[in-house]
Structure 1
């Protein structure tokens, strides 16, 4: 039983039907390969190729370079769908949105970046931000950066440097070719194992100035997508992974409600406590998801008509994301308890849902401090530095 499938109507346009068929293929491949992704601690390149074929990595590429920019609400639902099958695959797919950042590069640099096509996989390890040496025409880099999700399948890699910070103190990102970077495969974690979020190591590579940008800086090309708040969107695509995992976990306990107990006790669905817990979790998940997508659509309509998103709107995007991650974890935790002893088995999807979703609220974009920043903005007080 499923509850959040945004199915296309029967009168959908041919292009939409083709897109839906491509997504169906992605979901099928991910379902067949998710155990392999977990074991290898990466989404393999041939799976990334399927993502590319489905347009996931051109969803934020400029139109003039062959991209097909998607409205955020539509892309977020794609991430949810993939994440309901496998969180790591959804996490890696979510970075199809990160080419928004690269819209701040000079147009000629972007033309070179997309010279071989619009389907470019960008992965970055931005922290800890490292100093870079100014040299003729650019920066000389040396250091080690953490959490570069999807780096083993990336076409271009980014690292954070302090040189050339903007007035708000936001670090600059330097782009490198994979051959300029050593990937230190050290992703040994409890959840989201398939994201391959390894360290990046650079030793003396020189990056020209025109291949650097400040994340969140104004784009050099115009499209409604590039007017959407960049950093809040980066939080949203990660929160969408949590929503997908929560949906999968809740669907699991709903579908198992008719199973007999190992101890011979009452069928779960015959117990009031089970029914009450399922209903509460369903209400919680649907409520937080409604807030998440409602503010997404509001902000999209604002930027699509040519107006800038307000600081209040950008803050609500961040609040909705952090709250979605927190609530999704709570839903999965409750589903895990409802699942009983079966949930502890290695082959149980429930234990993996719990491991994966527990990682997501730990991300810096989604931690409890976001509530502090959002509360400040709601009361017209200055939020903490870097919040917006």
Structure 2
């Protein structure tokens, strides 16, 4: 059985100074090892365990089961800080929010899972949705799924099964053990390489029905974090890595602004184009962050107060997330322009932020068409995109 093989012995440090120190230690280690992660193409389990000690993977465990759920703005700020060092590792760490999906599991299943431990890493590939064979007590699944980010360090994986009319186009998520999949090492990319978003293959695997749920389905646990829009949150945690990439790139540009040009001319930062470019990029990044976090905090307060969260509220979260991803992309490109010729080298520090920072806006949840869908909702029209907002 799935849970008989899940080992959740690594736990977070106590809240307060010990956990803050664990988080800062994880950032220090990441600064030393980020090139290693990129070169090997995934974030390894031992580093994921450091993030567990920092509390990242209990941030969405329900308080009902002993968890310490964080306010989304607080968690997003942590992912942004990680992404300022290495956006791809920030992407993997962002799945500390993914247990919000588990709230759609039967309550009894959640009790079994969290009895094993509350520091749980979840990853998986949801698409393409595969038609599983219904059998007594569950399903038999065969298929190959794309973009299983973080699968190398996960305790539990999820795969997407095709549902019926009741899922409204959303995948049925089936929980499986990492040992039950074959990881196909096809993640040959330039950006977000450390996410290890390889394909996963399953053959004739029985999955008990109790370990399946509709992704973004109605929660069986009522807490503020389960009231907060799950699909919008999933878009937010990815978008914030672009804000981190933008911050990392601009921090580098500011540090390099006083350096003397290799041609012997004035310091780079004393050139009008450098100063203007930096100022505009700072304005764009900070503006996007303000919209992003202000919207997050407003909806979180509604969740805390158990007020109705409307489709328009959800749409604004989605718009803010897409705007953050798109703004982060523009900022890293602006930093690349400001840096000049040296930034074209693979070894240049900006390459990490450039290559990783372009990716979030490519994600289906953050592409340009989500602006159109968000605008449709604000106008009272149909979004035209499945599972939106």
Q: How high is the TM-score relative to the length of structure 2?
A: 0.94
Deviations 1:24-50 (A, max 9, x none): 111111111101100110101110000
* C-alpha contact 2:273 2:338 (8 A) present in aligned 1: no
Partner residue of 2:4?
Answer: none
Partner residue of 1:181?
Answer: 181
* C-alpha contact 1:65 1:117 (8 A) present in aligned 2: no
Deviation at residue 221 of structure 1 after TM alignment: 1.3
* C-alpha contact 1:165 1:214 (8 A) present in aligned 2: no
Partner residue of 1:338?
Answer: 338
Provide the rounded CA distance (Å) in 1 between the counterparts of 2:128 and 2:309.
29
Provide the rounded CA distance (Å) in 2 between the counterparts of 1:83 and 1:192.
11
Secondary structure class of the residue paired with 2:116 = coil
Secondary structure class of the residue paired with 2:298 = helix
Deviation at residue 167 of structure 1 after TM alignment: 4.7
Secondary structure class of the residue paired with 1:330 = helix
Partner residue of 2:30?
Answer: 30
Partner residue of 2:6?
Answer: none
Tell me the matched-pair count.
375
Deviation at residue 165 of structure 1 after TM alignment: 5.3
Provide the rounded CA distance (Å) in 1 between the counterparts of 2:84 and 2:76.
12
**For the structure 1 residues 375 and 202, does the alpha-carbon distance in structure 2 shift closer, same or farther, using more than 3 Å as the test?**
same
Deviation at residue 162 of structure 1 after TM alignment: 0.8
Partner residue of 1:229?
Answer: 229
Secondary structure class of the residue paired with 2:166 = coil
**For the structure 1 residues 45 and 165, does the alpha-carbon distance in structure 2 shift closer, same or farther, using more than 3 Å as the test?**
farther
Partner residue of 2:151?
Answer: 151
**For the structure 1 residues 167 and 117, does the alpha-carbon distance in structure 2 shift closer, same or farther, using more than 3 Å as the test?**
closer
The runs of at least 4 aligned residues of structure 1 exceeding 6 Å deviation read: none
Provide the rounded CA distance (Å) in 2 between the counterparts of 1:140 and 1:302.
41
Partner residue of 2:284?
Answer: 284
Deviations 1:206-264 (A, max 9, x none): 11111000011111112100100000000000011000010010111111111111112
Partner residue of 1:268?
Answer: 268
Residues 149-228 of structure 1 aligned to structure 2 (within 5 Å): 149-164=149-164, 166-228=166-228
Deviation at residue 18 of structure 1 after TM alignment: 3.3
* C-alpha contact 2:147 2:197 (8 A) present in aligned 1: yes
Moved more, 271-280 or 343-352: 343-352
Q: Are positions 1:90 and 2:115 aligned together?
A: no
Q: Are positions 1:46 and 2:37 aligned together?
A: no
Provide the rounded CA distance (Å) in 2 between the counterparts of 1:91 and 1:123.
11
Secondary structure class of the residue paired with 1:365 = coil
Deviation at residue 164 of structure 1 after TM alignment: 4.5
Deviations 1:333-355 (A, max 9, x none): 01011111221233222012111
Provide the rounded CA distance (Å) in 2 between the counterparts of 1:165 and 1:52.
38
Partner residue of 1:122?
Answer: 122
Partner residue of 2:9?
Answer: none
* C-alpha contact 1:139 1:207 (8 A) present in aligned 2: yes
Provide the rounded CA distance (Å) in 2 between the counterparts of 1:96 and 1:346.
31
Provide the rounded CA distance (Å) in 1 between the counterparts of 2:175 and 2:241.
26
**For the structure 1 residues 300 and 143, does the alpha-carbon distance in structure 2 shift closer, same or farther, using more than 3 Å as the test?**
same
Provide the rounded CA distance (Å) in 2 between the counterparts of 1:262 and 1:56.
43
Secondary structure class of the residue paired with 2:139 = strand
Can you give the 5+ residue segments of structure 1 that lack an aligned partner in the other structure? Answer: 1-13
Deviation at residue 163 of structure 1 after TM alignment: 3.6
Provide the rounded CA distance (Å) in 1 between the counterparts of 2:164 and 2:139.
10
Secondary structure class of the residue paired with 1:146 = strand
* C-alpha contact 2:163 2:170 (8 A) present in aligned 1: no
Secondary structure class of the residue paired with 2:140 = strand
* C-alpha contact 1:56 1:93 (8 A) present in aligned 2: yes
Partner residue of 1:293?
Answer: 293
Provide the rounded CA distance (Å) in 2 between the counterparts of 1:377 and 1:104.
25
* C-alpha contact 1:42 1:152 (8 A) present in aligned 2: yes
